[in-house]
Amino acid sequence: MDSNDNGPSRRQVVGAASIGLAAMAAAPAVAQSSGSTPAGPAKISDPRTKYPKPPFKEQKQPWPGLQSKMDPVPDCGETSYKGNNRLTGRKALVTGGDSGIGRAAAIAFAREGADVAINYYPSEESDAREVIDLIRREGRTAVAIPGDLRDAAFCRHLVAEAVKGLGGLDIVVNNAGRQQSQKSILDITDEAFDATMKTNIYAPFHIIKAALPHLPPGAVIIGTTSEQAYDPSEDLYDYAQTKAATMNYVKSLAKQLAPKGIRVVGIAPGPFWTPLQVSGGAQPDKQMSFGGKTPAGRPGMPAEIAGLYVRAAEDGGSYTTGNVLGAGGGQGQP
């Protein structure tokens, strides 16, 4: 699907510009839009009716879940995200880029002109293939690097493969996350606690260490944190503290890396409709009413947060570092 399917595509605009002055006079709107401003009014939609509201059908998948099997399938901007050259030539690694929020960021990055490497767990290959195809359809380089982020050696291998496949690296998105709801701390096994810490805290540590020598001034490290960092739920004892850790490393690392010209930015989603929630992340009752308690009355769709990742990464965001950007549906922080 073309990134500009609701307006003139870049190909149409370039084509119009190359067919000569007579044609330009005949199609002034298109000719005038050959700069960076798209033609026509900006789209406006009612957030109340834009996406489904709870109740959702009860659904449960084995971890880590596939978004293609969700009902409704999350909207990650596959047909709606329009790019505007905001990241042309940039080189991005996105963990958890197969589904949900990471998929939306990967699609947006490619539509903005970036080459993108995605990491995912091997059982998510079918979701990941769709993202790889979408990136390639934009004419960008797509690199698929499956593997388990709980393994430090794999994290280092991941960065090396991304640098090799992309020919460098200047956007690193630590987005992958593990969330397994348990009503009681007594039900969290040592192994489960360890897996959550390894995925959400250790993996970003190993990835950032491996990536840093490759990052030029102007590069950005982005961490997906959560409203859970600020307002933790009773059934997310282990997960919520990892999101507080993410929010915290964004702030310390931003201070450490500003003298090197590298920015560090957090993104804090509120409740978003993704596989995380139907593969152990939410209790069944919470999954069915998911997002219903927000003032918005519904969960966010990943397409509604993709723009924040672009904002965090683009050159125009050069003074945004040590900050956390949010999309919370009216509740939560920041």
Q: Cα 125 vs. chain centroid, distance in angstroms?
A: 17
Is the Cβ of residue 4 or residue 127 nearer to ligand NAD in the bound state?
127
Tell me, yes or no, if 51 is annotated catalytic.
Answer: no
Q: Taking CB under 6 A as the rule, does residue 83 contact ligand NAD?
A: no
Sketch the per residue contact string, 272 through 311, with ligand NAD: x for CB under 6 A, - otherwise: x-xxxx----------------------------------
Is the Cβ of residue 165 or residue 275 nearer to ligand NAD in the bound state?
275
Q: Taking CB under 5 A as the rule, does residue 99 contact Mg ion?
A: yes
Sheet containing strand 324-327, edge to edge, reads 142-146, 115-120, 91-95, 171-174, 220-224, 263-269, 324-327
Segment near ligand NAD (CB under 6 A), from 156-164, 176-184, 204-212, 258-266?
176-184
Residues 182-211 that bind ligand NAD (CB under 6 A): 199
289 by DSSP, 3-state: which? coil
Sketch the per residue contact string, 206 through 245, with Mg ion: x for CB under 5 A, - otherwise: ----------------------------------------
Angle between helices 100-111 and 125-137 (to 10 degrees): 20
Residue 178 contacts which entry, Mg ion, ligand NAD, none (Cβ below 5-8 A, type-dependent)? ligand NAD
C-alpha distances in angstroms, 169 versus 71, 146, 285?
Answer: 35, 18, 42
**Both tokens assigned to 239:** 């997960």
Instruction: Candidates 95, 97, 98, 230: give the one binding Mg ion (CB under 5 A).
Output: 98
Q: What residues pair up with 327 in beta bridges, in sequence order?
A: 269
Burial class (CB in 10 A: 0-12, 13-18, 19+), 223: buried
Distance of alpha carbon 132 from alpha carbon 139, whole angstroms: 11
* DSSP letters for 219-232: -EEEEE--GGGTS-
Shortest distance, position 66 Cβ to ligand NAD, whole Å? 9
Residue 4 contacts which entry, ligand NAD, Mg ion, none (Cβ below 5-8 A, type-dependent)? none
Q: Taking CB under 6 A as the rule, does residue 271 contact ligand NAD?
A: yes
Shortest distance, position 140 Cβ to ligand NAD, whole Å? 20
- Closest C-alpha among 204, 210, 209, 238 to residue 224: 204
Per annotation, catalytic residue among 237, 239, 249, 309: 239
Q: Taking CB under 6 A as the rule, does residue 262 contact ligand NAD?
A: no
Shortest distance, position 69 Cβ to ligand NAD, whole Å? 12
Residue 271 contacts which entry, ligand NAD, Mg ion, none (Cβ below 5-8 A, type-dependent)? ligand NAD
Determine phi and psi for 94, rounding to 5 degrees: -125, 120
C-alpha distances in angstroms, 125 versus 36, 66, 289?
Answer: 36, 9, 29
Instruction: Candidates 70, 101, 172, 325: give the one binding ligand NAD (CB under 6 A).
Output: 101
Alpha helices, DSSP H, located in 93-202: 100-111, 125-137, 152-166, 190-197
Instruction: Candidates 106, 134, 149, 327: give the one binding ligand NAD (CB under 6 A).
Output: 149
**Both tokens assigned to 288:** 């069915």
Instruction: Candidates 98, 112, 238, 314: give the one binding ligand NAD (CB under 6 A).
Output: 98
| Site residues (vs Mg ion, CB under 5 A) | 98-99, 124, 275
| Site residues (vs ligand NAD, CB under 6 A) | 64-65, 96, 98-102, 120-121, 124, 148-150, 175-179, 199, 224, 226, 269, 271-272, 274-277
Give me the active site residues, please. 239
